[in-house]
């Protein structure tokens, strides 16, 4: 059974002018796409199957990402159902010259594992083995309860 740590993925995206909105900051739709892509990779690593987006449970934009910044996106599986995979996502703006980061976005997505015919298939149970895994899982579950 996969562990939370094994599903943790971080990816970086350089914010270019073609990613920007009228305010010269990262367009929310571009960030959503990147969250969805990294989230799907995490879900597939967990399920061992193709996973498709079923729901954006929440999506909170806290501050902008500027052109020239790097968008750092992190995803990990924090819970699972019969065929569903619940993924926590966070994004930061990262100053590429210094590595300084500032959290910009918090979200959770639900993915469904499917077979080659597009039918839902069962997913394994999630294992939470380390203190860090438990801390990450509880962070998401506590914020969902608020």
Domain 4-145 bears CATH identifier 3.30.200.20? no
**Residues contacting 95, CB < 8 A, separation 6+:** 69, 70, 101
Instruction: Enumerate the domain spans of the chain.
Output: 4-145
Per-residue pLDDT at 14? 97
Closest CA to 89 of 66, 62, 68, 114: 62
For the cut 90, the answer to whether the pLDDT of residue 1 exceeds it is no
Condensed to tens digits (0 to 9), the pLDDT of residues 56-114 reads 999 999 999 999 999 999 999 999 999 999 999 999 999 999 999 999 999 999 999 99
Predicted confidence at residue 41, as pLDDT, reads: 98
Higher local confidence (pLDDT), 77 or 142: 77
pLDDT of residue 146: 66
Convert 23-38 to b/e letters by CB count within 10 Å (16 or more is b).
eebbbeebbbebbbbb
Confidence of residue 143 (pLDDT cuts 50, 70, 90): confident
Does residue 144 register a pLDDT over 80? no
What does the pLDDT look like over 31-58, one tens digit per residue? 999 999 999 999 999 999 999 999 999 9
């Amino acid at each position: 059974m996969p562990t939370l740590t094994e599903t943790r993925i971080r990816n970086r995206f350089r914010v270019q002018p073609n990613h920007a909105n009228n305010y010269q900051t990262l367009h929310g739709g571009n960030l959503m796409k990147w969250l969805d892509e990294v989230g799907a990779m995490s879900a597939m690593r967990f399920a061992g199957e193709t996973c498709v987006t079923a729901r954006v449970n929440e999506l909170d934009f806290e501050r902008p990402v500027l052109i020239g910044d790097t968008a750092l996106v992190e995803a990990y599986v924090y819970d699972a159902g019969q065929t569903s995979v619940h993924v926590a996502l966070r994004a930061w703006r990262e100053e590429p010259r210094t590595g300084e980061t500032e959290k910009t976005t918090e979200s959770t997505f639900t993915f469904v594992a499917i077979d080659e015919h597009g039918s839902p298939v069962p997913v394994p149970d999630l294992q939470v083995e380390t203190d860090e895994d438990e801390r990450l899982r509880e962070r998401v579950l506590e914020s969902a309860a608020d």
